């Protein structure tokens, strides 16, 4: 289809034609007659210019969505009641700032249980160390005794007997110390039993509350079922009990909200009952740990009694056989004392391992306790608050959403053709209600979005302000198609014969048609890929009589008038 154009130059030709016609009519009032072909000049005045080589760059506009570059969800690690929170949407927070506190009762019970276990294990370490000191004392005493025996002769028997009696006295002191520690552990056990009994009562109360919450939840379910029966006739009967449909919907909504609240209370009660039961079991474990410590002390006491018995036997043998076989007795005593030291050292190591394990349990309980205070992981602005005082926070949903808005991301979709023209780092412009921001492309999507059929492009606005709200829509302008070193001519200079573009050039005072191959274009300028050169005189004005071979009078455009075709911006040739 041939495209028609009307420009200012063409309008001037039309006016001249109309004027000529008017003169002809006036002349008709006289006897003078002028033939029509003589009234119009055969020479067509046209404007022309030589094609210029330059670059045509097109810009496209897209709709983008604003989002923060960094956004985090603060999710509770435990399920507990919210005690307090003073954070609201729009508040600015810093990393580490407290957001809200949760009820720590269960965690504190767990920590107390772990502390009790550690105290018991520490007591076991002390008992083992006393046993080791006794064994070491026994060994040192035995060696000292034997050394004295080697150095003394006449008074050896009396001195040996004295030292061995001192050794027995030391063992008796050790026995007294162990008995005192056993007594202390028994008192600790009584305290632990009291704590266990208190936890057992608390467990009973928690289970009772869970039953009550379950009953309330079932009652709420029944209320919803009564208001919303499956049978249509029954449903109509229920609705008939209300003044109107709105009243019925309001009652049904209230019943469902009560059902949701009862369900949350029931789940919270179940969680509290489970935590209390766990604390009760830990208290029982603490009593068992104390019993184990007591058993170890009793074993140590038994060993000490055996050591005492051995020492008394050695004393008797020494007294009877000192002068007969002193060296053999000395060797036996040393080996016996060394075995006692080794055994006591092993008991100390075992007790320390148990204490270290109990200390790890304390660290774990303290870590759990820290989870009941939610803090901000980053600096930013609060975008959402999903908890409130006396609600139950849980790991199933984020309590807060925090966004760092120091840098904002604008995401927009483009076609596959335009995607190939963009590059990472390319500068683009973002327009939010007339306010312009400089941005740069940071990511070019490689997969088509299933909802839009477009490729997603991400860009970064490094100097955002409060106008760039999260989720708001903006206009994005980006340079897309470009052709360099191309012939640039006015868009209106191209004509079409069906789908074949062509232009007119002036050669030797005549118009000549030239078929051309065109490229991209905008409202004013189009590129020519072939069929035209910079040596041609391109006719740029329109005339109804312009055709192949028509005589033309050429008026060349000035250089400044022709420069307007060298660079331009607008739609791309594909209409994308």
Regarding whether 97 and 111 lie in a shared domain, the answer is no
Regarding whether 117 and 181 lie in a shared domain, the answer is yes
Three state DSSP letters for 35-89: CHHHHCCCCEEEEEECCEEEEEEEEEEEEEEEEEEEEEEECCCCCEEEEEECCCC
Contacts of residue 336, defined as CB under 8 A and 6 or more positions apart, other chains included, come to 142, 310, 314
pLDDT at residue number 34: 38
Q: Rounded CA gap, 275 and 206, in Å?
A: 9
User: 332 and 316 in contact (C-beta within 8 Å)?
Assistant: no
Residue 444 lies in a domain: no
Regarding whether 99 and 114 lie in a shared domain, the answer is no
Residue 559 lies in a domain: no
Burial class of residue 439 (count of CB atoms within 10 Å of its CB; 0-12, 13-18, 19+): buried
Residue 152 lies in a domain: yes
pLDDT digits (tens, 9 = 90+) for 86-116: 788 878 888 888 888 888 887 788 888 888 8
Task: Pick the last residue of a domain from 339, 370, 401.
Answer: 370
Q: How many domains does the chain have?
A: 3
Regarding whether 145 and 121 lie in a shared domain, the answer is yes
Residue 535 lies in a domain: no
Residue 59 lies in a domain: no
Regarding whether 141 and 11 lie in a shared domain, the answer is no
pLDDT at residue number 323: 60
Regarding whether 323 and 198 lie in a shared domain, the answer is yes
Q: What is the mean pLDDT of residues 441-454?
A: 92
Q: What is the mean pLDDT of residues 167-175?
A: 89
pLDDT at residue number 314: 81
Q: Rounded CA gap, 165 and 163, in Å?
A: 5
Regarding whether 95 and 186 lie in a shared domain, the answer is no
pLDDT at 570 over 50: no
Residue 339 lies in a domain: yes
Question: CATH code at 86?
Answer: 2.40.50.100
Regarding whether 20 and 149 lie in a shared domain, the answer is no
Task: Pick the last residue of a domain from 331, 360, 393.
Answer: 393
Regarding whether 174 and 36 lie in a shared domain, the answer is no
pLDDT at residue number 71: 74
pLDDT at residue number 17: 35
Place of tokens 């006396």: 390
Q: Higher model confidence: residue 89 or residue 501?
A: 501
Regarding whether 384 and 366 lie in a shared domain, the answer is no
Q: What's 551's DSSP letter? A: B
Per the structure, the complete domain to which residue 16 belongs is given by: 1-40
Q: Rounded CA gap, 181 and 504, in Å?
A: 116
pLDDT at 574 over 60: no
Q: Higher model confidence: residue 15 or residue 70?
A: 70
The packing angle between helices 156-227 and 245-321, to 10°, is 170
Burial class of residue 166 (count of CB atoms within 10 Å of its CB; 0-12, 13-18, 19+): middle
Question: How would DSSP label each residue in 191-253?
Answer: HHHHHHHHHHHHHHHHHHHHHHHHHHHHHHHHHHHHHS-SSHHHHHHHHHTSSSHHHHHHHHH
pLDDT at residue number 20: 37
Residue 11 lies in a domain: yes
Contacts of residue 269, defined as CB under 8 A and 6 or more positions apart, other chains included, come to 206, 209, 210, 212, 213, 214
Closest C-alpha among 476, 462, 383 to residue 432: 476
Contacts of residue 480, defined as CB under 8 A and 6 or more positions apart, other chains included, come to 58, 59, 60, 418, 421, 422, 572, 576
Q: What is the mean pLDDT of residues 291-306?
A: 87
Place of tokens 């767990």: 110
The average confidence (pLDDT) of the chain is: 82
Residue 108: strand, helix, or coil: helix
Record the tokens describing residue 534, joined without a space.
């910079």
Long-range contacts of 324-331 (CB under 8 A, 24+ apart): 326/149, 330/146, 330/149, 330/150
Residue 64 lies in a domain: no
Regarding whether 353 and 282 lie in a shared domain, the answer is yes
- Which range scores top for mean pLDDT: 33-42, 101-110, 417-426? 417-426
With cut-offs at 50, 70 and 90, classify the pLDDT of residue 448: very high
User: 494 and 503 in contact (C-beta within 8 Å)?
Assistant: yes
Chain centroid to CA 194: how far?
A: 46
Q: What is the mean pLDDT of residues 56-60?
A: 87
pLDDT at 569 over 60: no
Q: What is the mean pLDDT of residues 170-181?
A: 90
Regarding whether 121 and 99 lie in a shared domain, the answer is no
């Amino acid at each position: 289809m041939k495209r028609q154009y009307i420009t200012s130059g063409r309008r001037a030709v039309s006016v001249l034609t109309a004027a000529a016609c008017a003169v002809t009519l006036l002349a008709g009032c006289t006897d003078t007659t002028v033939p029509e072909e003589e009234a119009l000049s055969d020479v067509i005045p046209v404007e022309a210019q030589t094609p210029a080589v330059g670059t045509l760059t097109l810009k496209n506009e897209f709709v983008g969505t604003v989002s923060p570059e960094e956004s985090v969800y603060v999710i509770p690690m435990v399920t507990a009641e919210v005690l307090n929170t003073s954070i609201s949407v729009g508040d600015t927070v810093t990393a580490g700032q407290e957001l809200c506190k949760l009820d720590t009762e269960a965690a504190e019970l767990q920590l107390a249980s772990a502390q009790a276990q550690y105290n018991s294990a520490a007591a076991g370490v002390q008992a083992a160390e006393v046993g080791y000191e006794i064994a070491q004392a026994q060994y040192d005493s035995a060696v000292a005794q034997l050394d004295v025996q080697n150095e003394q002769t006449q008074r050896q028997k009396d001195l040996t007997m004295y030292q061995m009696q001192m050794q027995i006295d030391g063992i008796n002191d050790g026995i007294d110390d162990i008995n005192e520690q056993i007594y202390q552990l028994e008192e600790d056990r009584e305290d632990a039993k009291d704590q266990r009994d208190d936890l057992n009562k608390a467990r009973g109360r928690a289970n009772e509350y869970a039953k009550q919450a379950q009953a309330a939840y079932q009652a709420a379910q029944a209320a919803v079922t009564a208001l919303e029966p499956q049978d249509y006739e029954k449903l109509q009967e229920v609705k008939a009990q209300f003044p109107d449909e709105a009243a019925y919907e309001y009652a049904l909504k209230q019943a469902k909200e009560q059902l949701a609240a009862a369900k949350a209370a029931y789940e919270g009660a179940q969680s509290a009952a489970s935590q209390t039961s766990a604390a009760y079991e830990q208290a029982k474990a603490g009593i068992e740990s104390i019993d184990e410590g007591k058993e170890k002390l009793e074993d140590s006491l038994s060993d000490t009694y055996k050591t005492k018995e051995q020492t008394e036997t050695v004393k008797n043998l020494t007294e009877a056989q000192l002068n007969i076989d002193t060296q053999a007795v000395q060797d036996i005593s040393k080996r016996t004392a060394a075995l006692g030291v080794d055994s006591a050292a092993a008991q100390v190591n075992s007790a320390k391992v148990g204490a270290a394990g109990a200390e790890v349990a304390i660290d774990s309980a303290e870590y759990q306790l820290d989870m009941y205070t939610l803090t901000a992981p980053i600096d930013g602005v609060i975008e959402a608050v999903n908890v409130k005082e006396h609600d139950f926070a849980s790991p199933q949903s984020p309590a807060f959403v925090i966004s760092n808005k120091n840098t904002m991301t604008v995401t927009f979709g483009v076609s596959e053709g335009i995607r190939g023209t963009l590059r990472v780092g390319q500068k683009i412009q973002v327009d939010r209600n007339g306010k312009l921001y400089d941005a740069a492309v940071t990511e070019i999507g490689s997969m088509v979005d299933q909802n839009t059929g477009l490729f997603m492009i991400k860009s970064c606005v490094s100097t955002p302000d409060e106008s760039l709200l999260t989720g708001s829509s903006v206009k994005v302008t980006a340079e897309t198609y470009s052709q360099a070193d191309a012939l640039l001519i006015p868009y209106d200079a191209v004509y079409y014969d069906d789908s074949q573009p062509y232009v007119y050039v002036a050669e030797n005072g005549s118009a000549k048609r030239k078929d051309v191959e065109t490229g991209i274009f905008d409202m004013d300028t189009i590129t020519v890929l072939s069929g035209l050169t910079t040596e041609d005189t391109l006719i740029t004005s329109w005339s109804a009589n312009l055709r192949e071979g028509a005589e033309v009078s050429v008026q060349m455009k000035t250089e400044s008038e022709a420069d307007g075709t060298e660079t331009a911006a607008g739609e791309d040739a594909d209409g994308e």
